[in-house]
Chain A
Amino acid sequence: MRVRIRYFGRFAADIGKFSEEFEMDENATLKDLTKFLKEKYPFLKEEIIEVSINGKYAKENDPIAPEVSVFPIISGG
């Protein structure tokens, strides 16, 4: 499955892109996606990666979809 990943906040700034596409397994889950991203971008290893799939807050075992959004949790005020 072709998956378009949209990056938000510091993830977009650090990766240097707002989105990119990858080929992923049809049965891939969010867990697979975060593992894949952490391998591709080692600076993400220390990060908690939050993901929205089909507009919904996704949990570890949720299947991925052709478009996913990846964002960090931020704490500033």
Chain B
Amino acid sequence: MLRYSRQAELVAQNNLKNSSVLVAGVGGLGGFSSMYLALAGVGKIIIVDNDVVEESNLNRQVLYRKNDIGKKKVYVAKERLKELNPDVEIMAIEKRIDEDFEIPKKVDVVVDGLDNYESRRELERAALQKRIPYVFGAVEGYMGMVTFIDNATKKLEDFIQTFKFKSVQVLAATAAFTASIQVMEVLKYLSNKGDLLRNRLLIYDALSTNFLEVKL
């Protein structure tokens, strides 16, 4: 397909077409990651979120417009992603990620777009229970971090201790570069290419313009 001709040598396009990726949370991170996955031609994208669009989201949540304020994010996101690439099937699930959450059938990878560790731990549990890899991502201010977690790697509990602090300061550009690193992990995994961030926490601090790779 001409649509994917400029990436044909980079990814296994058929693998992407036949894959299903779950994006948990379609806010800052998940908005960009679901968009990049749709552009790349991932066959099915399942988006999960329970929030409504608020005005304070609009500085960084790329899928929403002023007219969307008050609407459920998953349904608006579904429409925007379909516009971006009509070939992709989008499934919207209006749900919070909690202890009852289960990953639907036939998901190949789970992408983290959440904003708290309670939900992240539940997402990790649900993914690893079904032996599905989970691409962790988090942002704050000018900084983002990503790692690739599966049943054989270190888990969240191995590098995240009791967590208290929560900042609400985030730039769209921070969410974009972090989601971009997460999606690169997904595309490599689905295409059987390159080195994954397994047991490696990658931190980018845009304020000092420094990458830090931490072996877990």
Contact = CB atoms under 8 A, between A and B. Distances in A.
A9 B141 contact: yes
How many interface residues does chain B have, given as a range? Answer: 35 or more
A55 B143 CA distance: 18
Contact of B205 (A12, A50, A57): A12
Interface of B: 25, 27-30, 112-117, 120, 137-145, 158-168, 170, 175, 201, 203, 205, 207-208, 210, 212-216
Interface residues of A, number: 23
A13 to B, nearest CB: 7
A57 B214 contact: yes
A72 B101 CA distance: 28
A13 B207 contact: yes
A8 B112 contact: no
A77 interface: yes
Given A13-B141, A75-B138, A76-B168, 13 more contacts: A6-B210, A8-B210, A13-B142, A52-B212, A57-B214, A71-B143, A73-B160, A74-B167, A75-B115, A75-B165, A76-B115, A76-B167, A77-B30
Contacts of B139: 74, 76-77
B160 to A, nearest CB: 5
A47 interface: yes
Nearest to B143: A9
What 10 A-B pairs come out closest when comparing CB atoms?
A74-B140, A77-B115, A9-B143, A52-B214, A18-B208, A77-B29, A56-B215, A76-B139, A76-B140, A8-B205
B208 A57 contact: no
A3 to B, nearest CB: 17
A72 to B, nearest CB: 7
A9 B142 contact: yes
B25 A75 contact: no
Interface in A4-33: 6, 8-10, 12-13, 18
A56 B163 CA distance: 21
A71 to B, nearest CB: 6
